[in-house]
Amino acid sequence: MEGIINNWYMILVLIAALASAGVTVYRYFNLPSEAQLAKVREWLLWAVTEAEKELGGGTGKLKLRQVYDLFVTRFPWLAKVVSFDLFSSLVDDALEDMREMLKTNQAVKVLVNGEEERP
């Protein structure tokens, strides 16, 4: 009993280290699979398109905030394990896809811009 009392701080450090390791392992095994990320990427394409339609150009930070709020609402479990930097990177990828779609797909262009261009 005296050994425990004399080394209580070491025991506390050991418990903290084990708890930290446990949290790290838990987060690692709860990371999304590639199939889950593919579905999230598809959803993000829709979300950034809706944000572009609603807020228009030149509102990047507002769009990011709106998409992030939608993401947290739609995927609360995933929002706990995906860093904001990774999320922002996924949004950037979705924005590139949306811009490409705007160039090549007239229906998407009409959906986002609300008007059809005349040749």
33-43 pLDDT per residue, tens: 777 778 888 99
**How many structural domains is the chain composed of?**
2
Same domain? For 67 and 85 the reply is: yes
Same domain? For 61 and 103 the reply is: yes
pLDDT at 13: 92
Q: Which amino acid is at 38?
A: A
In tens, the pLDDT along 90-116 reads 899 998 998 898 888 888 888 787 765
Top pLDDT among 45 and 115 is at 45
Task: Flag whether 72 is in a domain.
Answer: yes
pLDDT at 117: 54
- Highest average pLDDT, of 9-18, 26-35, 47-56, comes from 9-18
Task: Flag whether 119 is in a domain.
Answer: no
Same domain? For 24 and 80 the reply is: no
Domain residues for 3?
A: 1-30
pTM for this one?
A: 0.61
- Dig out the tokens for 34 from the structure: 């590639």
Same domain? For 16 and 66 the reply is: no
Same domain? For 54 and 105 the reply is: yes
Calculate ∠ Cα 111-61-72, nearest 5°.
80
Same domain? For 60 and 98 the reply is: yes
Please compute Rg for the chain using Cα positions: 22
